Structure 1
Amino acid sequence: MNDITAESPVSSFVPGGRRRHRKAKQSSAGMRRAIVLALAVPLTSAALAGPSAFAAEKGIGTTAKDTASGQTLDESDQQMVTNLQTRVLDQRLGSNVSGVVLDAESDDTLWDHNAATALMPASNVKLATATGALTVLGPDHRFTTKVVYGNSTLTLIGGGDRTLTSADLAELATTAVAGLKAAGLTSVKVAVDDSLFPAPTLANGWNTGYYPDSVAPVRALVVDGHGVDDTSLDAGQVFAKQLTAAGVTVDGTVARATASVTDVPVARHTSAPLSDIVHKMLKTSDNNIAETLLRMTALGAQRPATFEAGAEVVRQVLSVRYGVSLANFEMYDGSGLSRADRIPAATLAEILELLTEARYADTLGSILDGLPVSGEAGSTLGPEWGRFDDVNSKCAVGKVHAKTGTLTGAIALSGLTQGKDGKWKVFSFIENGSTANPNDIKDAMDGLAATVNGCWA
């Protein structure tokens, strides 16, 4: 299973001292047009295979030894590199490990261990999903759930809000009941319309064993994050019970239907802004939010709400908008549950480095704020998950901001921390195939992050 836990807020932070050589920022409207136009042109394998100029400039794909040559590392960075070269060989991590550390101020790659090798990234995929959603839809975007009336039926229409609660439905029901009673109606049928998304399918790399605990079949309507096979009918049943409690008789059972354009609008609920939803998704590594956002991102770029179209849009955002290298990048879902996903540590580091640029703060700031913090209760780096609690890594509690990733046979940790020199470092570590106990693997990963921080010198 991917890492899932409860949400906990965290105060924001902004790394400073930036200089960059990336593309100039486009307006949101211009960016959306560019992505839509780019998607209209088939991508060639050659275009996706070549590393970006940024990757070449960083020296990504070289070894730690090669990276260090020609650079003058200060004492603390040299010690970090020396320690990483030893600690990445920890037997708990196995033999299939990749990693990279970038200096966010100088643009230098300080350390590289097989960073261009594409490995199964688990929930680190959510970093790409969040970047795509925030860029295409905008951080202030809100999702709308509607109720309409026609042909003696109240239809609850899903709008892709994976954070809809029973309290939100209760407000919709209250408004609907008031309208019915004002019209002299005491009974009604109830239907749900989740046609915003096509019928659920399995992503490449998924199996039916994921349903409904690791992820629910992806539909446009859900209430209280219920992990059930049909979240739309479930939401409709909750809504029907609320109508009954308010004195309206519900005729028959809740059914799936498509609302008519002639139906009368009755009530609507808008979600919190996307920035808040992304924050929650990352803190708790919520697979269901991630998969819903992937579909809404596709729709925002005028593409079908499918795994394939969503992943294609994310690729375009990363490469066209931000110049991130897509060499060896394979993404088949939004959550990272797919065992077919492959992303190099170098690419994850490039995505994270965007967060250190002031010009992207308005768009991507909720990713930065949403990264779990080492030792933060309620997040996937909290003590309840045994993170940053051993003799080597506990010194880094409160100092590491990173996205976790956990699948059987794959553990990842990618984020930011201030080094011993006070400068922000971007790092990504991924292991695949270790046979050690997963908790021991995570301890080793936490130790690598503490090494980057410099507290484990």
Structure 2
Amino acid sequence: MTEIMPDSPTPSFTPGGRRRHRKARQSGVGLRRALVIALAVPVTSAALAGPSAFAVDKGVGTTAKDTSPSKGPDADDQQMAANLATRVLDRRLGSDVSGVVLDADSGNSLWDHNGATALMPASNVKLATSTAALTVLGPDHRFTTKVVYGDGTLTLVGGGDRTLTGADLGELASSAVAGLKAAGLTSVKVAVDDSLFPEPTLANGWNTGYYPDSVAPVRALVVDGHGVQDTSLDAGQAFARQLTAAGVTVDGAVTRATVKATDFPVARHRSAPLSDIVHTMLKTSDNNIAETLLRMTALGAGRPATFEGGTQVVRQVLSQRYGVSLDHFEMYDGSGLSRADRIPAATLADILELLTKPRHARVLGSILDGLPVSGEAGSTLGPEWGRFDDVNSKCAVGKVHAKTGTLTGAVALSGLTQGKDGKWKVFSFVENGSTANPNDIKDAMDGLAATVNGCWA
């Protein structure tokens, strides 16, 4: 997918100071020890590596640190803040609005409107989920789907790969058929093992209308992202059909089973790297991928693969690894569909500020690269969604990198853009409860981002 980039050259991020509400950070050695104890796994040392491909290719890398005395906001930032103070009162946004703008170089707050107020963040929760997943599992982690044989049964074993395709399943079936024929077998039973993820499959705060279309009940096995109530049996049935097409007789219906230690491995499929999966998840705001990543992050940290296990790990990673404040932070799922989720705009901005630091680029770079770009077709900020297409915001097409969030009664937009002064800004805007038309609310949100960019002066 092609990204639309700013017309002017992009200056680099430089490591800057911490915001005052962020928790004091431990030393590197102490921090790693704390996480080993808290998460039961070591945090990857890759977090200390150099800038990501995004930084190299798009000019968001390292420059010499500015050692000049700290100065207050310049004239451009003052005008931006004054414009935001007026535009955040737009009636389309309603009265329950939270917003923060930070200077990426220094981490200083340039504008704050109820920034500490916890609101329903919708899909901006995915920023927290992806940060934890990449930190615990590492950007090169891959998920494995297996087929094993025992007692006349081929069992398809789910490994938490929400990107498994019919073609991938076909390759597994081909390997299985070859093994069966080599053993002189022409018929087999088929089972699925999705025991990797325990119940419940539905999160606190999900409306019944959300599943299985907006999100499927969370299981460890799925094919082609099918939105069905039981994705595991659905995948097993697709696997059985491929076996039948290859000339193997499948006896009976597909059932659930738990693999035995004596079962013989027949085939396996490994997913793309986690960094690629996170990139896709953020571009399209894929709820199902987010929920699977939350479960796998819990497992990677030695916790039960439940909503509670996953959200506990997210909290520990944000707080203990990165020093992000969790004041008023409430998270019940990985996708942000839960209407019980509450996150302040200030916290979302703190998470995004991590992406501007070169020391985090190796691990978290795919989040920065995966943020939708204003006007980028195929992303949630594309023209097909009516984003950045009105008279006030269209000037910012190609200039805003941000995560969207949309639920009934909640719209959020959090990301990064260059200001009028050419310096990168981190922003987060969240509104709850507006009764305006959703498209009008999004237009108002896009206008706030265009204001931070400075093109809507």
TM-score when normalising by structure 1: 0.89
Distance 1:437 1:404 in 2: 17
Q: Counterpart of 1:439 in 2: which secondary structure?
A: helix
Deviation at 1:177, TM superposition (A): 0.5
Residues in 1 aligned to 2:328 and 2:344: alpha-carbon distance in whole angstroms? 7
Using the TM superposition, give the Cα deviation of residue 199 of structure 1 relative to its aligned residue in structure 2, in angstroms: 2.9
Offset of residue 203 of structure 1: 1.4
Structure 1 residues 421 and 336: CA distance shift in structure 2, 3 A: same
Q: Return the alpha-carbon distance in structure 2 between the equivalents of residues 367 and 31 of structure 1.
A: 25
Over 3 Å counting, the alpha-carbon distance change for 1:239 and 1:93 in structure 2 is same
The corresponding residue for 1:405 is 405
Paired with 1:354 and 1:389, the residues of 2 have a C-alpha distance of 29
Distance (Å, rounded) in 1 between the aligned partners of 2:387 and 2:201: 34
Partner of residue 276, structure 1? 276
- Quick one: which amino acid aligns to residue 412 of structure 1? A
Distance 2:106 2:76 in 1: 15
Matching residue of 2:39: 36
Q: 1:143 to 1:120 in 2, by over 3 A?
A: same
The answer to whether the Cα contact below 8 Å between 2:237 and 2:254 also exists between their aligned partners in 1 is: yes
Deviation at 1:437, TM superposition (A): 0.3
- 8 Å CA contact retained: 2:14, 2:105: yes
| Structure 2: gaps (5+ residues) | 19-24, 42-69
Check if 1:92 corresponds to 2:92. yes
Aligned equivalents of 1:220, 1:25: Cα separation in 2:
35
Report the 3-state secondary structure (helix = DSSP H, G, I; strand = E; otherwise coil) of the residue aligned with 2:239. helix
The CA deviation at 1:33 is 1.2
Would the alpha carbon gap of residues 327 and 27 (structure 1) be closer, same or farther in structure 2, given more than 3 Å must change? closer
Contact 1:157 1:221 in 2 (8 A): yes
Q: Give the 3 Å change call, closer, same or farther, for CA 374–26 of structure 1 in structure 2.
A: farther
Aligned to 1:189: 189
Q: What is the CA-CA distance between 1:28 and the residue it aligns to?
A: 11
Kept in 2: contact 1:218–1:291 (CA 8 A): yes
CA distance in 2, matches of 1:383, 1:398: 12
* 1:153-232 map, 5 Å: 153-232=153-232
Question: Is the Cα–Cα contact under 8 Å of residues 144 and 270 in structure 2 kept in the other structure?
Answer: yes
For 1:455, the equivalent position in structure 2 comes to 455
The aligned counterpart of 1:377 is 377
Contact 1:374/1:397 (8 A) holds in 2: yes
The residue aligned with 1:329 is 329
Partner of 1:387: 387
Q: Could you tell me how far apart the structure 2 residues matched to 1:15 and 1:130 are? A: 24
2:300 corresponds to 1:300: yes
Q: Determine if contact 2:154/2:190 at 8 Å carries over to the other structure.
A: yes
Which residue identity does 2:424 align to in structure 1? Answer: W
SS in 2 for 1:405: strand
Say which SS state the counterpart of residue 95 (structure 2) adopts: coil
Query: Does the CA-based 8 Å contact 2:126-2:290 persist in structure 1?
Result: yes
Cα 1:32/1:170, change in 2 over 3 Å: farther
Q: Which amino acid aligns with 1:185?
A: L
How has the CA–CA distance of structure 1 residues 37 and 176 changed in structure 2, closer, same or farther, with 3 Å as cutoff? closer
1:16 aligns with 2:19: no
- Choose 373-382 or 27-36, whichever is displaced more: 27-36
1:410-441 CA distance string (max 9 Å, x none): 00000000101111100000000000000000
What is the distance in 2 between the residues matched to 1:167 and 1:24? 47
**Cα drift, residue 27 of structure 1:** 11
1:131-170 aligned at under 5 Å gives the runs 131-170=131-170
AA of the residue aligned to 2:321: R
Change (3 A) 1:182 1:363: same
Q: Spell out, residue by residue over 1:102-142, the C-alpha distance to the aligned partner (whole angstroms, 9 max, x if none).
A: 00112210000000000000000000000010001111000
Residue 425 (structure 2) pairs with residue 433 (structure 1): no
Could you tell me how far 1:202 is from its partner in structure 2? 2.5
Contact 1:200 1:219 (C-alpha < 8 Å) held by counterparts: no
Deviation at 1:201, TM superposition (A): 3.3
Distance 1:175 1:138, change over 3 A: same
Q: What whole-Å deviation, never above 9, does each CA across 1:6-52 have from its counterpart, x for those lacking one?
A: xx4548999422224555556998575143269xxxxxxxxxxxxxx
Query: What SS class does the counterpart of residue 268 from structure 1 fall into?
Result: strand
| Equivalences, count | 419
Conserved 8 A contact 1:35-1:317: no
Q: Is contact 1:122-1:407 (8 Å) kept? A: yes
Deviation at 1:229, TM superposition (A): 0.4
Structure 2 Cα separation of the partners of residues 34 and 364 of structure 1: 22
Q: Is the 8 A contact 2:40 2:301 kept in 1?
A: no
Structure 1 unpaired stretches of 5+ = 1-7, 39-69
Separation (CA, whole Å) in 2 of partners of 1:28 and 1:278:
25
User: Which residue of 1 is the match for residue 67 of structure 2?
Assistant: none
Judged with a 3 Å threshold, the aligned counterparts in structure 2 of structure 1 residues 15 and 293 are, in CA distance, closer, same or farther, namely farther
- Corresponding residue for residue 3 of structure 1: none
Mapped to 2, the partners of 1:399 and 1:99 lie a distance apart of 19
Aligned counterpart, 1:237: 237
Against the structure 1 CA distance between its residues 152 and 28, is the aligned structure 2 distance closer, same or farther, given a 3 Å change threshold?
farther
Secondary structure in 2 aligned to 1:222?
coil
Contact 1:124 1:412 (8 Å CA) reproduced:
yes
CA offset digits 1:295-347 (Å, max 9, x no partner): 00011111111111110100000000000000000000000000000000000
Q: Aligned letter for 2:116?
A: A
Distance 1:27 1:126, change over 3 A: farther
* 1:53 aligned partner: none
Asked if the contact 2:125–2:336 (Cα under 8 Å) also holds between the matched residues in 1, the reply is: yes
State which drifts further: 175-184 or 204-213: 204-213
On the 8 A contact 2:417/2:452 being kept in 1, the answer is yes
**Aligned partner of residue 325 in structure 2, secondary structure:** coil
Distance in 1 of aligned mates of 2:378 and 2:29: 36
* CA spacing shift, 1:151–1:174, aligned 2, 3 Å: same
Aligned partners of 2:352 and 2:135: how far apart in 1? 14
**CA contact under 8 A between 2:4 and 2:398: conserved in structure 1?**
no
Q: Contact between 1:140 and 1:274, CA under 8 Å: does it hold in 2?
A: yes
CA distance in structure 2 between the aligned counterparts of 1:82 and 1:23, rounded to whole angstroms: 37
